[in-house]
Structure 1
Amino acid sequence: MGWVRLGFMFPETPAAAAAMSVVGRFCSPALLNHCVRSYLWAATYGEAHGIAHDEELLYVAALLHDMGLTESFDSHTVPFETAGGRLAWVFGTAAGWPQERAARAEEIIVLHMRDDVSAAADPEAHLLQVATSWEIVGRHADQFPADVRADVLARYPRLTFGAEFLASFEDQARRKPDCAAAASVRNDLATRMAANPLS
């Protein structure tokens, strides 16, 4: 898997540090850990499969991908991934990124809730999709060995993540019945989450 080389190293850039400050300020401990785990799963999977990607861009998108579920940035008019993507665009622009790079962060976050994207078409979106589908419903379980799972969960435990996330998606579904979160709830999200080997 290349896990030893990865060794929980995160990008050391001003934007990466700022993204961690944002999630630390606005996310619950359980949601913050989920966002960090999402990056770690994504980076590990990418390394194992030789998927070249922009580490800083993936890290920032992974940390910010669920900001639209937080009380401060929830939207009553657009899906949570759209709200979170727009926030990522604002974040990237404020961090001094070119508008094209800020737009990529937005795109990755929006796409993580859409139909599967290939690694060739968009490596960062693909990796975030793999990571979050593993985190939420246990998809791609065979790609993450038991020792890797144990290591990540020991450092970034799930805490009350399952209950918090399900409640957030059910709330999104009630208020925005046409969104992707609502479709997930209708597709028996609760049962699929309960069967996740990470839970």
Structure 2
Amino acid sequence: MTEMSSRMLAGVSIPDTPLVTSAIEYARDKCEPCLFNHVVRSWLFAARLAQIESIEHDAEMVAVGTLLHDVTLNERFAGPRRFEVEGADLARIFTKQNGVDDRRAQLIWDSVALNSTPSIGLYKEPEVALCTAGIGLDVIGWRHHVIPATEKARIVSEFPRLGMKQKMTKCFCRIVEKNPETTYDNFTRDFGERFVPGYKAPSVVDLVLCAPFDE
């Protein structure tokens, strides 16, 4: 893999390239401060997991995938598909416009589309798996023990959470209320069932039993 220049951010060595710089600015423009800090922390956690566990990977693609994974998690999101899929399409357009080839652009698409589906994402290519892992660490604390506490504290200090749990809950519930058809087969369903009055997702059991076949 070609050597690329690097710099330190919150104590973590990260790639310093025009593509990464553009992704940071794109994420800053699309995300409110709470979500921007979340995507940066996710990136830094993913980078440290790779470094600590000596995982060979394309550091630019991990940067772009984590930075752009929540570009549709905002007030402007209007579907009609899952916010991850809509975001994956935007991320692929961004990467293609920045000269990324088809193979790497597909890694970005998968990283964004699968960012909240660890049962699949963690078993994909290293770049996709690392994006999933970094995001999972920041959202639910997945494998948080791998990164030393002092390192995590510095990352959170430089990119504070800004009430992330409450704000993310509000974002997910808004999606459930405005676009319920995009929530039935993913984690936002849980937020609908817990917090949104009147929300009721269809059962896959009924879909299977009511399929238009005799047996």
Written as runs of structure 1 = structure 2, the 5 A alignment for 1:62-73 is: 62-72=66-76
1:46 positional shift: 1.2
Please, which of 14, 20, 25 is the counterpart of residue 24 of structure 2? 20
1:145 positional shift: 2.4
1:129 is matched with which residue? Answer: 132
Please, which of 176, 181, 185 is the counterpart of residue 187 of structure 2? 181
Alignment of 1:53 with 2:57, yes or no, is yes
Paired AA for residue 138 in structure 1: G
Counterpart secondary structure, 2:110: helix
Change in Cα spacing, 1:145 to 1:9, as seen in structure 2 (3 Å) is: closer
Change in Cα spacing, 1:50 to 1:187, as seen in structure 2 (3 Å) is: farther
Identity %: 26
8 A contact 1:68–1:83 mirrored in 2: yes
8 A contact 2:66–2:131 mirrored in 1: yes
8 A contact 2:20–2:63 mirrored in 1: yes
8 A contact 1:91–1:102 mirrored in 2: no
For normalisation by structure 2, the TM-score amounts to 0.77
Counterpart secondary structure, 2:111: helix
Paired AA for residue 37 in structure 1: R
1:109 is matched with which residue? Answer: 112
Larger radius of gyration: 2
8 A contact 1:117–1:125 mirrored in 2: no
Change in Cα spacing, 1:131 to 1:162, as seen in structure 2 (3 Å) is: same
Deviations 1:20-45 (A, max 9, x none): 11111121111111110000111111
Change in Cα spacing, 1:115 to 1:151, as seen in structure 2 (3 Å) is: closer
Deviations 1:110-135 (A, max 9, x none): 12222434766411121122222221
Deviations 1:145-166 (A, max 9, x none): 2111211111111113222111
1:139 positional shift: 2.2
**Gaps spanning 5+ residues in structure 1: where?**
190-199
Change in Cα spacing, 1:118 to 1:94, as seen in structure 2 (3 Å) is: closer
Change in Cα spacing, 1:136 to 1:188, as seen in structure 2 (3 Å) is: farther
Paired AA for residue 102 in structure 2: Q
Paired with 1:46 and 1:11, the residues of 2 have a C-alpha distance of 13
8 A contact 1:20–1:63 mirrored in 2: yes
8 A contact 2:11–2:154 mirrored in 1: no
Paired with 1:188 and 1:138, the residues of 2 have a C-alpha distance of 21
2:85 is matched with which residue? Answer: 82
Deviations 1:50-102 (A, max 9, x none): 21111000101111000111234x23211111011000110011101112221
Alignment of 1:92 with 2:98, yes or no, is no
Compare the two structures and name the one with the higher helix fraction: 1
Alignment of 1:147 with 2:153, yes or no, is no
Counterpart secondary structure, 1:9: strand
Paired with 1:36 and 1:179, the residues of 2 have a C-alpha distance of 27
